[in-house]
Structures are given as structure tokens and as C-alpha cells.
Structure 1
Amino acid sequence: MPDRPETVCICGSTRFATEMSAANRDLTFAGVIVLAPGVFLRAADHEAGESMTDEQKTALDALHLRKIDVADRVLVVNPGGYIGESTSREIAYARATGKPISFTDPSDQ
């Protein structure tokens, strides 16, 4: 089997889109294949009339778990130590499947 770059799945609250983008950039420049959330809706998007249905959110959550399955490890982007409900589920899933997990802010982890 040919060597391939490491694959990392980025998890975290979409409120940290800027921080996730920076982690994605840094990992990519380091030669890592990055899997990350593909949709970032913020409060301003909702005010502008953009939204996501419950079905879309459920589908995106399931898709992100498949990204964790494909990854060699998980990086949780958690500035200030914040971890929301969805990210907590993703961390639990990654742990249950034996994926190594690291945090950008490792306090209290």
C-alpha cells in the first residue's frame, strides 16, 4: 500500500469558523489531508434569511461522523476550552471508535 499523507478531521463549533479555517490552512501546508465542516451558518446568516432545516442539520451531523471514520485522527478546535453539544457528540464518537484526539485548547480535556 503506498504511503499517503495523514488525514485529520477538524471538529468544533461553527462559531469558530475563522479558527477552523486557520487550523485547516496550517495542517494543509504541513502536508495533511483535512476533513472539516463544509457549512458554516452564523447569526448574521440567519438574520439575512439563510437557515438550515432540521433534516439538513441531521444529515450534516451524520456526514461529519463519516469524516471522523475516514480520518487518522481528530483535531478539536476549541478556543477558550468551549465545546458545544454537537462537538461533544463527535468527541464521544471518535473516542468510541478509537480515534486519537487533540485539542487546540487542551485545558480541562
Structure 2
Amino acid sequence: MPRQTATATETDRPTIVVLCGSTRFWDELTDAALYQTAAGRIVLSPGCNLKQPHPLWNSPDQADRLKQMLDTLHLRKIDLADEVLVVNPGGYIGDSTAREIDYARSLGKPIRYTHPADDGDSHG
């Protein structure tokens, strides 16, 4: 029996984009995920908004442990992604997002911004 080879459409996969940004902009992150998905991309995004109350992070100890785990998990999402989209309304980039950007750069990942800052990265 002849060996069948995969066609280009069977082996192509959509671009995987990871969203980075402060969860204080949860609505903007959700909106970016919607637009990226509608553009045919696979979206990896923060899965928890620790700024909203939830039983999983009721106590400060629970929240601290979860935050550490989520920070590491997000780096693994960056590992999987083809590119990074920084959701940064007003050009804002906090410390966690800045670390994620630095990590993505160290891997050579392309980085896009929803709101490019005039001076590169605006930390605040």
C-alpha cells in the first residue's frame, strides 16, 4: 500500500499567541482574546484574575501561592507560543508583564503591543 503524505492543510496549524498584561485590564485581555481568536489564532491567556474575589484565593497565603504558580505557568505559555501580544492600555507595563516581555525576548519570540509606548516599554 502506498504511503500517504499529509497535505499542507493537514499539517498547518494556526499561530499560537500568548496574551501578557496586567489583570487590572481584564476586560481588555478578554477583548484581545476575542479578536485574536476571530483572526484565527490559538490564544493562551491568563486564566485567573486574582483581583476579583474567589474561594481559590480567599486568604493572602492562598493568593500568594497561587500567584507564584500562575507566574511560572504563564512562562510555560510563552514557551508554547509563536508570538506575544502585550495588552497595555495607556502604554502601561507593570513589573510582572515586564518580566514576561524580557523572558519572551530571551527566547526570540515576536512581541506586539496593543498600545505601543513612545519610549519602548513604559513601566509603572
TM-score scaled by length of structure 1: 0.90
Partner Cα distance (2:88, 2:15) in 1: 21
| Map 1:59-74 → 2, pairs under 5 A | 59-74=69-84
**1:39-81: CA deviations, max 9, x gaps?**
0122x528xx835432211110000000000000000000001
Partner Cα distance (2:114, 2:107) in 1: 21
1:3 aligns with 2:5: no
Partner Cα distance (2:45, 2:70) in 1: 11
Secondary structure of the structure 2 residue equivalent to 1:53: helix
Q: CA deviation at 1:15?
A: 0.2
1:12 aligns with 2:56: no
TM-score scaled by length of structure 2: 0.80
1:35 aligns with 2:35: no
Partner residue of 1:80 out of 81, 86, 90:
90
What's the RMSD between the two structures over aligned residues?
Answer: 1.7
Q: Which residue of 1 aligns with 2:110?
A: 100
Q: Which amino acid aligns with 1:21?
A: T
**Percent of paired sites with the same residue:** 58
Moved over 3 A (4+): 49-52
Secondary structure of the structure 2 residue equivalent to 1:102: strand
Secondary structure of the structure 1 residue equivalent to 2:58: coil
Q: Which amino acid aligns with 1:32?
A: R
The higher radius of gyration belongs to 2
Q: Which amino acid aligns with 1:89?
A: R
Secondary structure of the structure 2 residue equivalent to 1:8: strand
Unaligned runs of 5+ in 2: 1-5
Secondary structure of the structure 1 residue equivalent to 2:53: helix
Which structure has the higher relative contact order (CA within 8 Å, separation 6+)?
A: 1
